[in-house]
């Protein structure tokens, strides 16, 4: 009895080790595929681009600011020279007048406003990135659950098939025993019930496998 139990434990250990080894070879591939096709993954790049843009935009507060403005006026009465110079045609000033101005200003001290904006930008970016990492961790955890769940179902289906084959042989043996008068019909009925239960269990496992 002890030796049989020991062999069973060793057998289960080898099966589990084989499952884990197989999982290790392919699980990372499934995780990578899930992450690649996960819509939120694209936001990683958007978060970084938004961070760079906001930092660059905030830093422009130290650069000179140029303002170009202009205006046009119409003078109904313009100034004329009160004298005439012989031989020289002195024209009066035009009534339409235009003025263009270029103003240059530069922020010397802003009371720490630009620095605060940069700090806020960095903090917001880190928070968004942290949320993304939490989402990715949850995604990997979900992939792990599905993957190992499928492995377990596949192993249960294999064991179910072996059990059906064993019950089929038992059913044949009991039928032979009945023919030789060393078993009863109730014994055969009990085996038949187990066969039906095993087949029903397989249907449930296959349904879970396809879900």
Query: pLDDT: is 47 or 137 the higher one?
Result: 137
Tell whether 46 and 78 lie within a shared domain: no
User: What is the predicted pLDDT for the residue at 103?
Assistant: 62
Domain boundary among 71, 90, 105: 105
Instruction: Give residues with Cβ within 8 angstroms of 101, minimum separation 6.
Output: 68, 69, 70
Mean pLDDT of the 61-88 span: 56
pTM above 0.75, yes or no: no
pLDDT of 47 strictly over 70: no
Strand ranges (E), 32-153: 65-74, 96-105
Tell whether 116 and 194 lie within a shared domain: yes
Tell whether 158 and 119 lie within a shared domain: yes
Reported as a single tens digit per residue, the pLDDT across 75-106 is 555 555 455 555 555 555 555 555 656 565 55
Q: Is 86 helix (H, G, I), strand (E, B) or coil?
A: coil
pLDDT of 11 strictly over 50: no
Tell whether 180 and 132 lie within a shared domain: yes
Q: How many residues does the chain have?
A: 211
Q: What is the mean pLDDT of the chain?
A: 71
| Backbone phi, psi, residue 97, to 5° | -125, 140
Domain that holds residue 92: 61-105
Tell whether 87 and 159 lie within a shared domain: no
Tell whether 50 and 71 lie within a shared domain: no
Query: How many whole angstroms separate alpha carbon 167 and alpha carbon 94?
Result: 114
Instruction: Give residues with Cβ within 8 angstroms of 184, minimum separation 6.
Output: 178
Reported as a single tens digit per residue, the pLDDT across 23-32 is 545 777 777 7
Tell whether 81 and 147 lie within a shared domain: no
Tell whether 73 and 135 lie within a shared domain: no
Work out whether the CA dihedral 192, 194, 196, 199 comes out positive or negative. negative
| Opening angle at CA 73, ends 67 and 75, nearest 5 | 155
> What domain count does the chain have?
2
pLDDT of 169 strictly over 90: yes
């Amino acid at each position: 009895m002890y030796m049989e139990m020991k062999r069973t434990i060793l057998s289960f250990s080898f099966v589990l080790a084989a499952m884990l080894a197989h999982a290790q070879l392919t699980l990372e591939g499934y995780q990578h595929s899930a992450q690649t096709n996960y819509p939120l993954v694209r936001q990683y790049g958007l978060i970084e681009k938004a961070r760079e843009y906001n930092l660059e935009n905030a830093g422009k507060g130290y650069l000179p600011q140029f303002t170009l403005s202009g205006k046009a006026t119409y003078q109904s009465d313009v100034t004329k020279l009160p004298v005439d110079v012989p031989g020289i045609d002195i024209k009066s000033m035009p009534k339409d007048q235009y003025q263009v101005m270029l103003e240059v200003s530069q922020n010397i001290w802003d009371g720490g406003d630009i620095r605060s904006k940069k700090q806020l930008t960095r903090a917001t970016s880190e928070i968004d990135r942290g949320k993304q990492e939490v989402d990715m961790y949850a995604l990997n955890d979900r992939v792990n659950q599905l993957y190992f769940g499928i492995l377990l179902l596949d192993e249960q289906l294999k064991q179910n098939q072996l059990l059906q084959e064993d019950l089929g042989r038992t059913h044949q043996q009991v039928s032979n025993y009945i023919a030789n008068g060393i078993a009863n019909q109730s014994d055969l009925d009990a085996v038949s019930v187990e066969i039906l239960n095993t087949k029903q269990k397989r249907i449930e496992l296959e349904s879970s496998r396809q879900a």
